[in-house]
Structure 1
Amino acid sequence: MTIEEILSKEENQTFDRKSINISPKDLAIPIVAFANADGGDIAIGITDRTRRIEGIDFETKKLNELLRVPFDFCNPTVKVGIEKLPCVDEKGRENHVLVMHIDASPQVHANQADDVFLRVGDKSKLQTFEERLQLNYDKGERYFEDKAVPDATIDDIDMDFVKEYTDKINYGKSPLEYLKENRGFIKEKGGEIQISSAAILLFGKNPQNFFPRARIRFIRYEGTEEKFGTEMNVIKDVIFEGTLLNMINEAIAYLDTQVKEKTYLGSDGTFVTDEEYPKFVRQELIVNAVTHRAYSITGTDIQIKMFDDHIIVESPGKLPGLVRADNIRFTHFSRNPKIAEFLKNYKFVKEFGEGVNRMCNELEQVGLKDPVYHTNAFMLQAVIYNSSAEKVGYLSGKLAAESEKLAIESEKLSFQNIKLAIDSQAYNEPTKKNILKIYEEIETNQIFGAPEIERVLKCSTSTAKNVMKKLREIGVVEEIKGKGKGKYTFISEFNYTKNVN
């Protein structure tokens, strides 16, 4: 990475710029956010809005404080790699910019205030309690499949099926002993028997009594897109329930009946029959959806949506753990290891982590594109296209490019608006420069007050309070409740004509 790349790069899911004047507690936020998400790089010594090079060589005390952040302000400690890039700063001096390289972590990290952040686009998003809990599940520190199911009893378990399974894996003891002694399917606590979610989903007599939406829904549409209202184009709508194994078997068998075939005379003079999607690929999409679904999300089911030119399989939950769209072919992380092991014993999972790579290979062999993965709200979408599809991923790529362009333009417009707002006031030039410097140095989502202004400007307390007052007067900040008196953040996408006068 070079200083030119740092300056030209837009802030995104894996990259951020920070001023050398950022406080240690504020730097902890993006460090934690990157570690909890996909990892990333933080360039320190460049202002994020104007990309003005400050450097780090002449700020030894501040630099030392920031280097301690991964240890002193992150819990647990975040592993960070350090790189110094040579540059010429704004004053024409030989200098360096510090780059912190942060790997995606298998743990969930918090800052000193015990707040958990996750990198989402170019922002570090504070996680709610529910989001934090889901992140724990995704990271594998806690598994929802181990959670006890309220009101479930041993009578809700199909012991005949457990016996069939223990025979299959050559387990010599009784079915009940298997459930108690292996994988923690059943536990005794306080004299009471607790039945785990995995036990109900895998061996339950009727899992939908406890997880009504733990099912697979197949929807066949006419055409190439989903329509609603008077134009609704649903041809078939079938729901599969029961244990996970039963649902997988029935869904795979039904999908087989919906796939088109074409027969032609091969080069050797014999007739050849090809299906529009390879059988392994169809099967693997369903198995992956069931294996890696976030069963803690109970409000929806797995959906197989079949169109004329593609199939979408939607599964509740984002990509688990360290798996990302760009590494999914060779990276494995199981959100539900008990379910994954069970299906492996039924030969649905060959070797952990090989499924996506084999899907890609089989699609490539018949001239089809690799699967495309999208995250839509809390749903993971896996898409495969047949030979009639015109452009794979065109729409999502176009939308992503437009979204990035709008974000850049919005940031430029916001900066122009703040300058207009400052110029419209009867402030002296030093005050205007101070206000603009604060806007350049402090992040949009950073919480600050007069003490932070005093540190950035290296000014007196009275000057810092005066600048804070002016920021409130022109309406570019909004007060933050619950963080102490006099704490503010800059208004995102500030609009001069809307916010002034």
Structure 2
Amino acid sequence: MELNKTIEYLRTKPEGQTFDRKSAKIDAKSLAVILVAMANADGGDIAIGIEDNGNVTGIDGNEQHINELLRASFDFCVPSVEVNAERLAYTNEYGQPNHILLIHVHQSMKLHTNQADEAFYRVGDQSKKLSFEQRLQLLYAKGGRYYEDEPVYNATIEDIDLAKVEDYIKVLSYGKDVITYLQENNAFVTHRGGVERVSGAAILLFGKNPQRFFPRSYVRFIRYKGTEAKVGTEMNVIKDVIFEGTILEVINKTIAYVQTQIKEFTFLGPKGLFVTIPEYPAFCWQELIVNAVVHRDYSIYGTDIQVKLFDDHLVVESPGFLPGLVRTYNIRHIHFSRNPKMAVFLRDYKIVKEFGEGVDRMYREMKEAGQPEPKYVQDDFILKATLQAKSLPNAERETTAEKTKEKPKKSQRNHPKKPENYQENIIQLIQEDPSITVIRLAKLLKKTPDSVRYQLRNLTTHGIIKHEGPTKAGKWIILKPI
């Protein structure tokens, strides 16, 4: 049998997420299941005329049946699946010409079903039938509907903290009152048939108690001793903390706490000066937390976002499919907001720093820090993002915690001056100029703007300061001493 290189490759290529082999005897309805599953997932290729064991049997001799297979994407898929098909020639073992049919299935932004109204999703080399809940989750992930726009059962405007709305419209410089804002913007509060409807976005952004309606819309932080999670008598959990509130409060609380758990390494640099670097670049782990909160699938009630910190890596787990056309292999460059209203809200509060570009920047910063690139894994309906910790020679390692345990020497002569308190310096500069900007603070403190923003969020979360007015023209107010 004389096979060209393409057919030999298709004969031996492992079946998986984006490739399948089928006999020409497959019926059109069965083929439609694979077409639907691939279109709903990542797209892919189907080689017709090659058996599962790799034997090439071809398609010639039954043109009517092959035409039925070619029409399967129209006749048995709802809506129709976009495909391209080509016939590849080869010579069989008897010296006779034959062909295989290679069908390329395009990835789709739509949710597809077969004629029986069953939805499938490609998982590895299988076409997995979706439950009603999973089907709805996939619809939200593809942007066919946005779950944040769905009305929340039994919620009323009384469940919204109007003071939080007031703070936000000041950031926007919105000229009308808070009730008008809620009723006229983003469909936060609507009326249908005389019934008041409050959206999920309104509750998650401004709710008095969002967890009443979204019980697991919190972030759970777990600190493990060692490099893997253990259970039973070997359970190695050191800390287990939950952060609740609106999505802004959850993000600020989580970031402030995780900051206290990230180690810093101090060592003598090449110029004879001590250098301090963190286990993970601050932007990177903060970006993972922000993305998990703003892009999680809130229609999944049974689980929560988890931030897991091990001795050598950090993992952030978020419920839901990757949204839109985003996949683990293109996540650096393809952007899609599962919850666009929440994303815009966080951008207005400067939590989302680089709209649509944060993941790519995270890859760059990990590379610049000499650390492996982030690793994303879609584990069924949970997205797991992992960062590897900074690795330094033992002779150069010295954590901040270890430094504080050192006993002071009797003579302080020639010792460096004790560093001033970072937050106290910020408060002092705000007292001197309540209208001071982040850029100005960063310049005076000789810190990065991101570092200053983090400290300001921390001070705001703990009720020490607050900001009034628009971002660029407002002022800081000190609420209590630090």
TM bucket (normalised to shorter chain) is 0.7 to 0.9
Matched, 1:285 2:312: no
Matched, 1:121 2:96: no
Q: Which residue of 1 aligns with 2:32?
A: 28
8 Å CA contact 2:218, 2:242 repeated in 1 = yes
**Equivalent of residue 375 in structure 2, options 352, 372, 389:** 372
Give the 3-state SS of the residue equivalent to 2:148 in structure 1: helix
Alpha-carbon RMSD? 1.8
Q: Which residue of 2 aligns with 1:255?
A: 258
Give the 3-state SS of the residue equivalent to 2:289 in structure 1: helix
Q: Which residue of 2 aligns with 1:105?
A: 108
Letter in 1 for 2:304: D
**Alpha-carbon distance in structure 2 between the residues aligned to 1:175 and 1:98:** 61
Write the mapping of 1:71-150 to structure 2, written as runs, cut at 5 A.
Answer: 71-150=74-153
Identical residues among aligned pairs (%): 58
8 Å CA contact 1:285, 1:313 repeated in 2 = yes
**Alpha-carbon distance in structure 1 between the residues aligned to 2:98 and 2:212:** 65
**Alpha-carbon distance in structure 1 between the residues aligned to 2:57 and 2:231:** 54
Aligned residues: 389
| 1:36 CA drift (Å) | 0.5
8 Å CA contact 1:33, 1:118 repeated in 2 = yes
**Equivalent of residue 239 in structure 2, options 207, 215, 236:** 236
**Alpha-carbon distance in structure 2 between the residues aligned to 1:171 and 1:94:** 73
**Alpha-carbon distance in structure 2 between the residues aligned to 1:389 and 1:190:** 65
Letter in 2 for 1:255: V
**Equivalent of residue 334 in structure 2, options 326, 331, 334:** 331
Give the 3-state SS of the residue equivalent to 1:2 in structure 2: helix
Letter in 2 for 1:139: K
CA spacing shift, 1:260–1:239, aligned 2, 3 Å: same
**Alpha-carbon distance in structure 1 between the residues aligned to 2:181 and 2:25:** 59
**Alpha-carbon distance in structure 2 between the residues aligned to 1:116 and 1:237:** 38
Letter in 2 for 1:283: Q
**Alpha-carbon distance in structure 2 between the residues aligned to 1:94 and 1:169:** 70
Write the mapping of 1:202-351 to structure 2, written as runs, cut at 5 A.
Answer: 202-351=205-354
**Higher mean C-alpha deviation, range 375-384 or range 24-33:** 375-384
Q: Which residue of 1 aligns with 2:454?
A: none
Letter in 2 for 1:324: R
Q: TM-score, normalised by structure 1?
A: 0.75
- Post-superposition Cα deviations, 1:265-322, rounded to whole Å, max 9, x if no partner, equal 3334433211110000011010011011111111222111111111111112232232
8 Å CA contact 2:321, 2:381 repeated in 1 = yes
**Alpha-carbon distance in structure 1 between the residues aligned to 2:356 and 2:239:** 33
CA spacing shift, 1:97–1:275, aligned 2, 3 Å: same
| 1:170 CA drift (Å) | 2.4
8 Å CA contact 1:319, 1:380 repeated in 2 = yes
Letter in 2 for 1:275: P
Matched, 1:356 2:356: no
| 1:389 CA drift (Å) | 10
**Alpha-carbon distance in structure 1 between the residues aligned to 2:177 and 2:95:** 78
**Alpha-carbon distance in structure 1 between the residues aligned to 2:206 and 2:334:** 29
**Alpha-carbon distance in structure 2 between the residues aligned to 1:294 and 1:321:** 12
Write the mapping of 1:413-452 to structure 2, written as runs, cut at 5 A.
Answer: none
- Post-superposition Cα deviations, 1:8-46, rounded to whole Å, max 9, x if no partner, equal 112111101122222211111100110001111001122
Matched, 1:18 2:22: yes
Letter in 1 for 2:275: V
- Post-superposition Cα deviations, 1:90-125, rounded to whole Å, max 9, x if no partner, equal 543222211111121100001122211111111112
CA spacing shift, 1:389–1:297, aligned 2, 3 Å: farther
8 Å CA contact 2:328, 2:378 repeated in 1 = no
- Post-superposition Cα deviations, 1:45-91, rounded to whole Å, max 9, x if no partner, equal 2222x333232343322222221111222111111122322212354
CA spacing shift, 1:345–1:235, aligned 2, 3 Å: same
Give the 3-state SS of the residue equivalent to 2:365 in structure 1: helix
Q: TM-score, normalised by structure 2?
A: 0.77
Q: Which residue of 1 aligns with 2:197?
A: 194
Which runs of 5 or more structure 1 residues have no equivalent in the other structure? 391-501
| 1:373 CA drift (Å) | 1.7
Q: Which residue of 1 aligns with 2:456?
A: none
Give the 3-state SS of the residue equivalent to 2:34 in structure 1: helix
CA spacing shift, 1:61–1:269, aligned 2, 3 Å: same
Matched, 1:8 2:12: yes
**Alpha-carbon distance in structure 2 between the residues aligned to 1:72 and 1:230:** 57
Letter in 2 for 1:105: S
8 Å CA contact 1:16, 1:41 repeated in 2 = yes
Deviating beyond 4 angstroms after TM superposition, the runs of 4 or more aligned structure 1 residues are none
Q: Which residue of 2 aligns with 1:460?
A: none
| 1:377 CA drift (Å) | 4.2
Write the mapping of 1:177-192 to structure 2, written as runs, cut at 5 A.
Answer: 177-192=180-195
| 1:204 CA drift (Å) | 0.4
| 1:231 CA drift (Å) | 2.1
8 Å CA contact 2:278, 2:390 repeated in 1 = no
**Alpha-carbon distance in structure 2 between the residues aligned to 1:269 and 1:96:** 71
Give the 3-state SS of the residue equivalent to 1:125 in structure 2: strand
8 Å CA contact 1:310, 1:389 repeated in 2 = no
**Alpha-carbon distance in structure 2 between the residues aligned to 1:332 and 1:155:** 35
8 Å CA contact 1:70, 1:79 repeated in 2 = yes
Q: Which residue of 2 aligns with 1:431?
A: none
- Post-superposition Cα deviations, 1:125-145, rounded to whole Å, max 9, x if no partner, equal 222212211111111112211
**Alpha-carbon distance in structure 1 between the residues aligned to 2:155 and 2:392:** 47
CA spacing shift, 1:57–1:294, aligned 2, 3 Å: same
Letter in 1 for 2:32: A
**Equivalent of residue 156 in structure 1, options 156, 159, 164:** 159
